[in-house]
Amino acid sequence: MTATQHLVLFWVFVAFFMIIGIIAILAIVGVIKTDKRFRNWAVGGFAAAIVGVVIIWAKTQPLQAPVDLFINLEPPAGVKAEAFELVSGNYEYDEQSSSGEPVKRSGSVELTAGQHIGWWTAKLPCSGITRPFRMTLKDKEGKLWTVRPFYPNYHNQQLIATVASQNQPAGSLPALSLIKDAFAMEKNAGLRFNNYARPASTVQGRTYYSWRVFVDEPIHILARISEVQYLLHPTFPNPFQVRTNPNDQFALDGSGWGQFMIQITIRFKDNTMERASYYLDLTKSWP
């Protein structure tokens, strides 16, 4: 509800209860000739009018404006912080439509200088607070950079390749490492993923499972992959995981009671990338 709508609605209800209150007062003081029963009602009516105005005011208070999300961006390793300047960026995340199909949301990133030299702060919309974001940014020299997929409301982000500064003040915003971008040359190879699962324990009537997700491709395809990045549900202690071993099919082991969509980024040895998603199925038996 907008502030204008709130004000109009408030005064409509105020006028209504004021009329009741005025009639009640006139009846109480005897200006309006009424019997005793009506005067007794008038006392209660006047009190109800006061209470009604207060309640309507509280119920019609305008909603607070959405709170924007702010994410710290740490300069890439090997880049001189004093000369590093981001000039533009875009974000995207996926929402699920009523039909169950993913719908991509995207927009421009608002960038401001960060709390440390070379750091930048990105402002993102709160509408995607529970969704995994992806970001692509450009610096003043025209080079493209990206941030690995992340949940903006998760403050214990696991950094890959570049470690956050040990001097980062406690309680500051989550820091995300920038890595050299290859999304402009994304592959669309359509890699296959699979998983195993088996019951591990039962707690308060709920079954917990051990599970393993892996790249379900032959050896010659696995040999082309440098790493596989898994972004799990944000309730996991470390939702961002990276696997680099082709010998076990870049397998990720985990445990839990629920099924969910895993966001996956595959980095190839030729520095190209592919994005995918995989729904963890706990009904698939372990071989």
Given pLDDT bands bounded at 50, 70 and 90, which one contains residue 175?
low
pTM of the predicted structure, to 2 decimals: 0.55
Residue 186 belongs to some domain of the structure: no
Residue 287 belongs to some domain of the structure: no
Q: Please compute the mean of the pLDDT values over residues 23-28 and round it to a whole number.
A: 68
Split into its structural domains, the chain has a count of: 3
The string of DSSP codes covering 106-173 is EEEPEEEE-SSTT-EEEEE-GGGTTS-EEEEEEETTS-EEEEEEE-TT-SSPPP-SSPPPTTPPTT-P
Residue 64 belongs to some domain of the structure: no
- Name which residue leads in pLDDT, 85 or 175: 85
Contact between residue 158 and residue 238 where contact means Cβ atoms under 8 Å apart: yes
DSSP state of 190: -
Reading the block at residue 99, the tokens are 């039909």
What's 220's domain CATH number? 2.60.40.1970
Same domain, yes or no: 158 and 78: yes
Same domain, yes or no: 267 and 207: yes
Residue identified by tokens 């982000």 is 157
